[in-house]
Amino acid sequence: MTPLRQKMIDAMRQRGFSDRTHESYLGAVASFSRFYRPALETAGADDVAKYFEHLVREREASASTCRVHYGAVRFLYEKVLERPALMVKVVLPKRGQRLPGLLSTGDIRALVSATTNVKHRSLLCTCYGCGLRVSELVALRVKDIDGERRVLRVEQGKGNKDRDVALSEATLEQLRRYWAQYRPGDWLFPNENTRCCISLYFAQLSRILPRDELVPVPRYSGHGQLRCRDARRQIMTHGRSAIAKQSFCAAADATQSHQGRLR
């Protein structure tokens, strides 16, 4: 590890940056270092401007990626190397705005009722019923569930803040069924191959519904595949009312039981 990299890590730790910010900023500075071969301490304003021109034109980086790289390079020169005058104004791509696909509560019930994997279903119910971010979902521990008070403890969520969220009876029952089958130890959703929790990548990108169990929902941009990271978007639209959260898993259970009787 180079002294400059260690100095940057120490500066981020002092400011309480999250692990994901550490990873993003260090990766962005490493990319800049590969582009600008001499020592980064000798770079000038023109070199910084050429790098961002390279990101946009040759690498065709998205607007969000360019902003992450800009934040990392700016932090390096302003806070670590103490050269704020180096950071000239860089023109970044305009960030597009897209509305997420929206589902009605009935559509979500249909999707959840078709999900036979208990772990995937519990992930989805917890994320939707409690309005959790995916990073908060994967970090849950068994001890965070207070079944008596129907409260879920979220420790060190966004902004390194703790908070308690209401846990509906339907979501609690789903988690009890999940625990009875999987018997997790410390982490609520552990990785089967390690002693740690499931990865953020798994929770973000894994489909909740297998390909042979897709339920077509024409209005949804996900083409009938509901993922955990989409669940929070839905609850923010539907409103975090007790009725919406209580009826979510309960209605799906009723639908699945009815389908079981028909079979």
Output the pLDDT for position 209. Answer: 46
Residue 261 scores a pLDDT above 50: no
pLDDT band at 22 (very low <50, low <70, confident <90, very high): very high
Output the pLDDT for position 29. Answer: 94
Residue 107 scores a pLDDT above 60: yes
pLDDT band at 244 (very low <50, low <70, confident <90, very high): very low
How many other C-beta atoms can be found within 10 angstroms of the C-beta atom of residue 120? 21
Tokens found for residue 31: 């990319």
Greatest mean pLDDT among 91-95, 105-109, 124-128, 225-229: 124-128
Output the pLDDT for position 12. Answer: 95
Q: Report the mean per-residue pLDDT for the chain.
A: 76
Output the pLDDT for position 115. Answer: 72
Per cent of the chain over pLDDT 90 is 22
Output the pLDDT for position 200. Answer: 66
**Range of weakest confidence among 134-138, 223-227, 231-235:** 223-227
Domain 3-86, what fold? DNA polymerase; domain 1 (1.10.150)
pLDDT band at 204 (very low <50, low <70, confident <90, very high): low
Map residue 172 onto helix, strand or coil. helix
Distance CA 43, CA 30 (A): 14
Output the pLDDT for position 7. Answer: 94
Residue 164 scores a pLDDT above 70: yes
Output the pLDDT for position 233. Answer: 61
Output the pLDDT for position 228. Answer: 55
- Ordered by start, the domain boundaries in the chain are 3-86, 105-262
Residue 10 scores a pLDDT above 90: yes
pLDDT band at 87 (very low <50, low <70, confident <90, very high): low
Residue 249 scores a pLDDT above 70: no
Output the pLDDT for position 75. Answer: 94
Residue 231 scores a pLDDT above 50: yes
Q: Quick one: residue 16, left, alpha or beta (phi over 0 = left, psi -120 to 50 = alpha)?
A: left
Distance CA 234, CA 164 (A): 20
Map residue 29 onto helix, strand or coil. helix
Distance CA 168, CA 1 (A): 48
Q: Is 159 exposed, middle or buried (0-12, 13-18, 19+ CB in 10 A)?
A: exposed
Q: Does residue 257 or residue 132 have the better pLDDT?
A: 132
Pick the CATH number of 105-262 from 3.40.50, 3.30.2010, 1.20.1250, 1.10.443: 1.10.443
Distance CA 111, CA 223 (A): 11
